Structure 1
Amino acid sequence: MTVPEESTATQPDAQGTRVEDVRRIGFIGLGTMGRPMAGQILAAGYELTVYDVAPTAVADLRDAGARAAASPREVAAASDVVICMLTHPDVVREVLLGADGVAHGVRPGAIVIDMSTSGPDVVRECAEALADRGARVIDAPVGKGPWAAEKGDLTILAGGEADVIGRAEAVLRCVGSEIHHCGPLGSGQVIKLANNLVSCANIAILAEAYALTRRAGADTDVLVKVMSHTSADSWQLRNTLIAKVLKGDLSPMFKLGLATKDMRLLEDLAGRLSAPFGCGRSALDWYERAEEKGMTDQDWGAVILVDEPNWQA
């Protein structure tokens, strides 16, 4: 189900809070995606409190009018809605439930939104703990990249109760042009990971095709040209291989290490569900080989260079 443009969330929820009462937003995690997302929320006129382990990440937003907090607990105490955009499920757990985490400052009736790609398990675990504090949780990982975050044009994949998503919708629309309700809590994470399975595997199969062609002594430039005009065409071909890797640009649009993390989350999820993961396992092998070559902080397109004999980090 896609959340309609016209929000029906102005009705009171079970705790009597209306969506127009949601004015104080907390944002934790100001990296490549989090910083522009938080900037969009601040520009929309919300009172914004931010936290990041790197003080330099906070500086621009503080100068623009956001309040800098000293801990996730302090962010939660100041906020009606707390958004997390973090790098790993272990970090999400620590930020939400740790000794100085959100759980120790969150206000009854507040909404906590995990917009990280962290898998369904950690958000469900944290939701159970935060419910004891009177807070409600949704997961809302995002599609697209930093270029879309800068424009508020992300695709948001929300999981959780419809009334909670409705209460948060106005804030989410500051950062996303599409909001999809994917199902119960954790479903946004599942859809995001499934989407990333296709994206990551697409790069891996490009790497395999490129390596095969090069080793056979055929012209890799012709391969790229042919693929771009046949059914082998793809977003990754055009925007990762052609627009970045072949131009020598490995600056991270999406870090290879994060893609590897997502693939490992997928492997774990597929294993627990007894779901097929043969293609995914083969793709993950390319990413793990790339990490072994020191490509972790490069763009995920660096996978295409794993088979290049003279490549150096």
Structure 2
Amino acid sequence: MTVGFVGAGRIGEPMVERLLAAGHQVHVYARRADVLERLVAAGAKPVDEVRELATCDVVVSCLYSDAQVLEVLPAIVAELDGLLISHTTGRPGTLQRLGHAAIVEAPFSGTADAVRAGRLTVYLAGEPEQVATARWIISSYAGPVVATGGRGTAMRVKLINNLLLAAITQATLRGLAAGRAMGIDESVLLEALAVSSGGSTAARQMDARGGSENYLAAITPFLRKDLVACRDAAAEVGVDLSDLLAAAYDGPMNLGV
């Protein structure tokens, strides 16, 4: 099966590497020459224009935002007969605007290291047969894979996940501040939280990244855009998330409003 790939960034590049290692023929569009050079050396076939990916059986997209999805993907879906798998986290209605029948939502939770280890958590939503194909394709870098239902559900699951992550991060940062005030070094408290009942994924990632500062630099831009998408998605269906949003926004991590 030929797999087209667009969005070969920090997460996307190791995805391509894993797809190649699994034996897929991968055609890749990348704007950065250094990334393209590395992936071609690994066995990927480069394309000069993004619309050329439409000749592939499946196209995997790992773009950053809704704006990039609407900028880049229309040129592909205009000629695509196969399946589009979109890893972008954004508003649930964005992919609908592309007007392509065979799209699987595939937002994920995890890091580039998780991709390299084949342990990226991915949520899949779409028609059952299309989800089955997507599951097979992404199995080279994903596991566990959670099927959430019809299109729109995977995005809502991911947005709620990130809403909770933001709220838990804010609570963890307050805990670290309390520890410092009580004479406990941040690194010591994070080491303890990483293996204790008061810990969380946020605390474990802070510990793994060498402290809260490095963690916040990596995660804040993603949470900032995803919280806006979550707020908009909830408003569209008339759900009140004000308490959770207040917990996510109110704290040492500056996510804006």
TM-score with structure 2 setting the length: 0.87
Q: Which residue of 2 aligns with 1:148?
A: 114
**Contact 1:159 / 1:181 at 8 angstroms: preserved in 2?**
yes
Q: CA deviation at 1:84?
A: 0.5
Q: How does 1:64-143 map to 2 (within 5 A)?
A: 64-77=42-55, 79-97=56-74, 101-106=75-80, 108=81, 110-126=82-98, 129-131=99-101, 136-143=102-109
Matching residue's letter, 1:192: K
2: distance between equivalents of 1:67 and 1:60?
11
Residue 49 of structure 1 aligns to a residue whose secondary structure is strand
Output the aligned Cα RMSD: 2.7
Change (3 A) 1:257 1:287: farther
Q: CA deviation at 1:249?
A: 6.5
How much identity, in percent, do the aligned residues show? Answer: 25
Unaligned runs of 5+ in 1: 1-22, 292-313
**Contact 1:96 / 1:102 at 8 angstroms: preserved in 2?**
yes
Residue 130 of structure 1 aligns to a residue whose secondary structure is coil
1: distance between equivalents of 2:90 and 2:235?
16
Matched, 1:186 2:152: yes
Match of 1:243 among 208, 220, 224: 208
Report which of the two structures shows the higher radius of gyration computed on alpha carbons.
1
Q: CA deviation at 1:227?
A: 5.2
Query: CA deviation digits over 1:240-296, x for unaligned, max 9?
Result: 1x33353x87278944211211111112222223322323234235587368xxxxx
Query: CA deviation digits over 1:146-177, x for unaligned, max 9?
Result: 11101221122100010111123321211212
Residue 283 of structure 1 aligns to a residue whose secondary structure is helix
Matched, 1:59 2:24: no
Query: CA deviation digits over 1:85-123, x for unaligned, max 9?
Result: 0110110111112xxx212331x2x00011111231112
**Contact 2:249 / 2:255 at 8 angstroms: preserved in 1?**
no
1: distance between equivalents of 2:29 and 2:45?
9
1: distance between equivalents of 2:254 and 2:147?
36
2: distance between equivalents of 1:114 and 1:91?
12
Change (3 A) 1:62 1:235: same
Q: Which residue of 2 aligns with 1:297?
A: none
Q: CA deviation at 1:139?
A: 0.4
Change (3 A) 1:259 1:210: same
**Contact 1:84 / 1:116 at 8 angstroms: preserved in 2?**
yes
Match of 1:206 among 159, 167, 172: 172
Matching residue's letter, 1:113: I
Q: How does 1:257-268 map to 2 (within 5 A)?
A: 257-268=221-232
Change (3 A) 1:221 1:130: same
Unaligned runs of 5+ in 2: none
Matched, 1:224 2:189: yes
Residue 82 of structure 1 aligns to a residue whose secondary structure is strand
2: distance between equivalents of 1:91 and 1:65?
26
Match of 1:196 among 156, 162, 170: 162
Q: CA deviation at 1:213?
A: 5.3
Matching residue's letter, 1:42: L
Aligned residues: 254
Residue 25 of structure 1 aligns to a residue whose secondary structure is strand
Change (3 A) 1:196 1:265: same
Change (3 A) 1:232 1:224: same
**Contact 1:28 / 1:83 at 8 angstroms: preserved in 2?**
yes
Q: Which residue of 2 aligns with 1:277?
A: 242
**Contact 1:146 / 1:253 at 8 angstroms: preserved in 2?**
no
**Contact 1:144 / 1:155 at 8 angstroms: preserved in 2?**
yes
Matching residue's letter, 2:242: F
Query: CA deviation digits over 1:182-226, x for unaligned, max 9?
Result: 010121111111111122221111122333555xx4224399377
**Contact 1:139 / 1:160 at 8 angstroms: preserved in 2?**
yes
